[in-house]
Structure 1
Amino acid sequence: MTQQNPKTDSADHPSQLPPDDYSILPHRDHVTQEAIPFILADYGDDGAFSEQQVSTLAERHNLSETQLRELSRLVGYSLDIDTEANLIKITRSKVQRRLNSSRLPKVRGDNSLDATEANALFKSLGLVVSVVEDLGDSERNDASETVANEPPNTTTISLDKARRVLQPDDRRKERDSRRLLVVESCCYVALDAGWPITYTTDSSVEKNQRGGRLIALIKDVIGMVSHKGHVASVHTLKADIEMVRSRLEMRGELP
């Protein structure tokens, strides 16, 4: 987990945070509404594709099995359960306001967050909060109380409330970084195969059928490594390709 210095690292207006305010950047999957339900696992160097999937992709996209095994490894690294790809921004003052609010906004909580991690996040934010699994059936989820074995100023909250409080500052600004890593992996292999890092905009075909061979490859890959064969939006993939292309240009990796 990364902590930002408000004087130097704040994304937009570094001088606007008060001296005692700051942001942390914990890793969290499936935060954005559009996050792809990738199959996360301990892939290591084995790659994310089965041999059958390698053969299928080779046949569909005229790529060598060597290139596709390399793509399998790159995608596996992107989706490895230990890869902290999605760093979300949580600011202390915003968490404090949510803690003090009697009515939290109706946002999707993060069910993967457990009490131990929630307590660690509050500690990183310098907030004296104790998270427990359940405050009891007679307590409301947003109730809080002081317990005897904690400092007198400790606020105790349920895990349910902690999940609603420890939200990103602005979900709209968060990205599905694992998806972007998968797209970047496909672009690297496409470059190796001599493909241009681009897409088509043929308006004569249905919207989600546009895109060209790079997008077709990315869609097939995402379908293979996501739950229920997720179909990625062409519009989203075009934006991702533009971002990857900009990165490659900055690194001098485009031909």
Structure 2
Amino acid sequence: MQEETKASRQANEVEEYEAEDYSIYLHMDGVKCSTAWRLGSYGEDGVLKPDIKAHLVNKFSLPKELAERLSIELGYCLDSDGDVAINLLEINRTQAIERGRKVLGKLVRQSKNGACTRQDLLADLKKLSPYFAASPEDATLLPQAISALENSEAITPDIHAALERLRRTPGAAADMSPRDKRRAHDKRRQYIVETCCYAWKDAGHPLTYTTFSDGRRGGQRQGILIEFIQTVVGMITVPSHGLSGETIRKDIDRFRDALAREEEEFWAPPEFGNQYT
């Protein structure tokens, strides 16, 4: 009876684990970005030339010191040697686990039928990840299988058994291919828009935009802040071009929401009374 209860509890835990679904966002190289930023190592000189900074000062009522700081901080955003995550791609947990199972099923068949070499099998296993493993123990299964292959001269029955166990263990070996490479989130663009918003806010200008109807859902975004951001973007892209007004609107909204959360957390009262109680 006790064994049945334990087995039932384990089965329920597996069902709950498999029912849970969410996505993570990882930085991945090798994905072409739609915006060609003028990357480089600008340091304290900044990315904007003196005449461009003067243009921003005159046209957008930006204090000179803010234009200087904007130039330097934009240069940091465009640093080609830094660790700025350019592309964030969505990895869906359920899909990654299911793809991993399919890959392992194929590898099991190929290895048993002699349709792949040890090197090919090893290369395919190294493409998988234990990121979504349900427990620390499960997370060791893939590294153990890889280690066994690396230290073996052939694909042995023990390796076949290790592959089968991997395939039967949800999350132990997931295929972390992105959900949709076409929907890469350009973090560098977000950092650049945020940098512009900080300069705009510090200059005392409101973080607002307007919308006019052009027949499309949501209309077209415009306003002096969006014009400012588009001007800056045009100065740091090659060839010079702007961004979608809707894209900028989303980044501005994200920035405003982050500011609101920061202010709310800063002014929030203590949870358990105060220093006098």
TM class, shorter-length: 0.5 to 0.7
Superposed displacement of residue 244, structure 1: 0.9
- Runs of at least 5 residues in structure 2 that lack an aligned partner in the other structure: 1-15, 107-123, 132-141, 160-174, 265-277
In the alignment, the residues of structure 1 paired with residue 57 and residue 191 of structure 2 have an alpha-carbon distance, to the nearest angstrom, of 21
* Identity percentage of aligned residues: 33
Query: How big is the shift at 1:26?
Result: 4.2
Structural mapping, 1:225-240, within 5 Å: 225-240=236-251
Aligned to 2:194: 184
CA contact (8 A) 1:24 1:124 kept: no
TM-score (norm 2): 0.54
Q: Partners in 2 of 1:32 and 1:18 — Cα distance?
A: 34
Partner residue in 1 for 2:89? 88
Task: Give the CA deviation at 1:210.
Answer: 4.7
**1:191-202 paired onto structure 2 within 5 Å:** 191-202=201-212
Equivalent position SS for 1:63: coil
The match for 1:105 is: none
- Tell me, in whole angstroms, the C-alpha distance in 1 between the residues paired with 2:191 and 2:102: 32
Determine which structure has the larger helix proportion and give its number. Answer: 2
Once the two structures are superposed, what CA deviation does each residue of 1:173-221 show, in whole Å capped at 9, x if it has no partner?
64222111111111111111111011022448xx998511110111011
Q: CA deviation at 1:236?
A: 1.4
- Structure 1 SS opposite 2:84: coil
2:263 is matched with which residue? 252
Residues of 2 paired with 1:191 and 1:44: CA distance? Answer: 24
| Separation of aligned partners in 2, 1:150 and 1:44 | 51
- Summarize the Cα distance change of 1:24–1:214 in structure 2 as closer, same or farther, 3 Å threshold: closer
| Alignment counterpart, residue 229 of structure 2, candidates 207, 218, 221 | 218
Q: Which residue of structure 1 lines up, in the alignment, with residue 74 of structure 2?
A: 75
Provide closer, same or farther for how the CA distance between residues 194 and 171 of structure 1 changes in structure 2, counting only shifts above 3 A. Answer: same
Distance 2:201 2:30 in 1: 29
Distance 2:57 2:125 in 1: 47
8 Å CA contact 1:30–1:36 kept in 2: the answer is: no
Alignment size in residue pairs? 198
Q: Secondary structure at the match of 1:201?
A: strand
Q: TM-score scaled by structure 1?
A: 0.58
Q: Distance in 2 between matches of 1:229 and 1:208?
A: 24
CA–CA distance in structure 2, aligned partners of residues 47 and 37 of structure 1: 18
Deviations 1:61-84 (A, max 9, x none): 221221111111222222223133
Paired residue secondary structure (2:199)? helix
CA RMSD of aligned residues (A): 4.5
CA distance in 1, matches of 2:125, 2:238: 30
1:17 Cα deviation after fit: 4.8
